[in-house]
């Protein structure tokens, strides 16, 4: 069976990517899993300069979910290009860089540096991190700013540009269209849901930052719904993200319209997750007599009439 997918000019040997912020820079997993198993990986978000991130505690477990406020701690884009990219070139997997900025100019500058680096397959634009004071969700929560950032990145690179959308909006299709209009090549759907967990003994938030981003199986139905909406609203290919830990979870997104998926929180729980999902996808296709995983994309049979696609 064929598991390879093509989207936005990316050729992936299978539809599984490691999600930004849940896989470090990839090299942390050397020796624990074979990175060449992955269709691709998306780096931790990178600014121009290194960042310290939020105070601790930074993570809290909630029912079927993980609430985090790491705050984009990172080594900076130059450190990544210098120290990490050469190590990743040993693996047969697509490397995407998640680009951050406090300002539109910084997004563009980071993108230019990434564009000039060897071994990068694409840029994911982080307009949806809920755990920073500036940038992130500030851009992803306003369609005009979304357009502005994506257009600036578009002008800074010839690499595929893939904005990562926030689920913390009333209508994700507005943002999907803004990205399409700004020249994006694909969409990542979705980042974490803004949450708040309270320690009732101290009457303080369980995270030092206060609020955090919720991920894991708890958000999967929300993410599948938003992926489905976005895929119907634009012609761009959509990469589904949200609580994927099994082949069945990945299939939900593909059937709802995603052309590929990212595995996030499950990386923390089980480094063997890619091997299991790939085996499960192949078994599913064989059981259903399907030769090519691309045939599944967007085959959801919805029980009630809908407005036409790409309206």
Partner 1 sequence: MPHNRDAPLVARRHLDGAYFLLSFRHPEVARQAQPGQFVMIKAGTAAELPLRRPFSVMSVDPPQETFTLFVKAVGAGSRALTLLEPGETAQCLGPLGRPFDPPAAGVEALMVAGGYGVSPFRMFAVVLQRDSRPGRLFYGGRTALDLQEREPFAGLGVPVHPATEDGSVGRRGRVTEALEEYLDGQARAVALYASGPDAMLHAVARIAERRALVAQLSLDPWMGCGIGTCLGCVVSIQEADRPQPKLRCACTEGPVFDAHTVVWPGESSSAARRRKLQEVSA
Which residue from 274, 277, 278 is spatially nearest to 29, judged by alpha carbons? 274
Q: How far is the CB of 77 from partner 1 (least distance, A)?
A: 17
User: Whose Cβ is closer to partner 1: residue 69's or residue 254's?
Assistant: 69
Q: Determine which one of 100, 129, 179, 189 is catalytic.
A: 129
Q: How far is the CB of 42 from partner 1 (least distance, A)?
A: 12
User: Whose Cβ is closer to partner 1: residue 31's or residue 118's?
Assistant: 31
Tokens of 172: 């994700």
Q: How far is the CB of 252 from partner 1 (least distance, A)?
A: 14
Alpha helix (H) residue ranges in 69-126: 77-79, 85-88, 104-115
Q: Report the interhelical angle of 220-233 vs 247-256 (nearest 10°).
A: 30
Q: How far apart are CA 149 and CA 168, in angstroms?
A: 18
Q: How far is the CB of 175 from partner 1 (least distance, A)?
A: 27
Q: How far is the CB of 232 from partner 1 (least distance, A)?
A: 28
User: Whose Cβ is closer to partner 1: residue 183's or residue 272's?
Assistant: 272
User: Whose Cβ is closer to partner 1: residue 31's or residue 308's?
Assistant: 31
Collect all residues with Cβ–Cβ distance below 8 Å to 120 and sequence separation of at least 6: 85, 95, 96, 97, 114, 159
Which residue from 272, 260, 256, 264 is spatially nearest to 217, judged by alpha carbons? 264
Q: Rounded to 5 degrees, what angle do the CA atoms 233, 237, 242 make?
A: 85
Active site residue 100: no
Q: Is the preceding peptide bond at 57 cis, omega within 30 degrees of 0?
A: yes
Q: How far is the CB of 131 from partner 1 (least distance, A)?
A: 11
User: Whose Cβ is closer to partner 1: residue 140's or residue 264's?
Assistant: 264
Q: Which residues of 262-288 are buried (b: 16+ CB within 10 A; e: fewer)?
A: bbbbbbeeeeebbeebbebbbebbeee
User: Whose Cβ is closer to partner 1: residue 64's or residue 89's?
Assistant: 64
Q: How far apart are CA 303 and CA 118, in angstroms?
A: 47
3-state secondary structure of 276: helix
Provide the β-strand partners of residue 48.
none
- Residues at the contact surface with partner 1, assessed by CB under 8 A: 22-24, 28-29, 31-33, 44, 52-53, 56-61, 64-66, 68, 70, 73, 216-217, 245-246, 265-273, 276
**Catalytic positions, written as ranges:** 129
């Amino acid at each position: 069976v064929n598991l390879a997918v093509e989207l936005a000019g990316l050729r992936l040997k299978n539809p599984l990517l490691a999600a930004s912020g849940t896989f470090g820079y990839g090299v942390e997993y050397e020796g624990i899993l074979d990175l060449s198993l992955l269709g691709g990986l998306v780096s931790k978000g990178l600014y121009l300069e290194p960042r310290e991130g939020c105070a601790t505690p930074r993570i809290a477990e909630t029912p079927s979910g993980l609430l985090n406020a790491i705050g984009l701690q990172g080594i900076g884009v130059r450190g990544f290009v210098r120290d990490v990219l050469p190590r990743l070139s040993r693996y047969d997997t697509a490397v995407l860089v998640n680009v951050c900025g406090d300002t539109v100019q910084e997004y563009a500058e980071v993108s230019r540096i990434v564009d000039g680096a060897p071994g990068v397959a694409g840029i994911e634009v982080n307009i949806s991190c809920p755990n920073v004071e500036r940038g992130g969700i500030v851009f992803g929560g306003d369609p005009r700013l979304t357009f502005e950032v994506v257009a600036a990145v578009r002008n800074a690179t010839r690499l595929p540009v893939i904005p990562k959308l926030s689920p913390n909006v009333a209508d994700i299709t507005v943002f999907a269209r803004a990205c399409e209009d700004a020249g994006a090549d694909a969409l990542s759907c979705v980042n974490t849901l803004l949450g708040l967990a309270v320690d009732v003994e101290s009457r303080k938030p369980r995270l030092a930052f206060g609020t955090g981003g919720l991920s894991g199986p708890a958000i999967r139905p929300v993410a599948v719904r938003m992926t489905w909406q976005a895929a119907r609203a634009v012609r761009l290919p959509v990469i589904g993200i949200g609580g994927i830990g099994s082949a069945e979870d990945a299939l939900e997104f593909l059937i709802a319209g995603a052309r590929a998926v990212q595995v996030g929180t499950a990386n923390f729980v089980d480094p063997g997750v890619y091997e299991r999902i790939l085996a499960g996808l192949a078994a599913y296709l064989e059981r259903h007599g399907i030769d090519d995983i691309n045939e599944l994309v967007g085959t959801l049979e919805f029980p009630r009439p809908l407005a036409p696609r790409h309206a």
